[in-house]
Amino acid sequence: MFSDYLVSNKLYLKKDISIECAEIINNRPSNIHEWVELKESINILSIDNNEFIFMKGDKKYIYWCDVSIFFKLRCKNKSEIREMNLNKIL
């Protein structure tokens, strides 16, 4: 399932989004949640069925969700990415 969306540890977004997540400090999620704006792609560090950890700039964040639903609704799959890249070339 995840492999349909991951390309070199990146997820490519269908559109820019804001998600509420926790920064990871000293390998632990912060109790304070914040809104993070994501554009174009997400640099993924790890994925579980209920969460994923990603980098934005030099900060590490964790986002809790049903990952399969998040991917289907928010991310491009490999065939969409391939088609997008072909359209850029042509």
Render pLDDT for 59-87 as a digit per residue (tens, 0 to 9). 999 999 999 999 999 999 999 888 877 77
Of 21, 19, 26, 28, the closest CA to residue 62 belongs to 21
Joined tokens for residue 43? 């640099």
**What per-residue confidence (pLDDT) applies to 90?**
65
Q: What is the mean pLDDT of residues 3-11?
A: 92
Domain of 47 in residue numbering reads as 2-89
- Specify burial of residue 9 (Cβ count, 10 A radius: 0-12, 13-18, 19+): middle
pTM (whole model) above 0.85: yes
CB 62 within 8 A of CB 24: yes
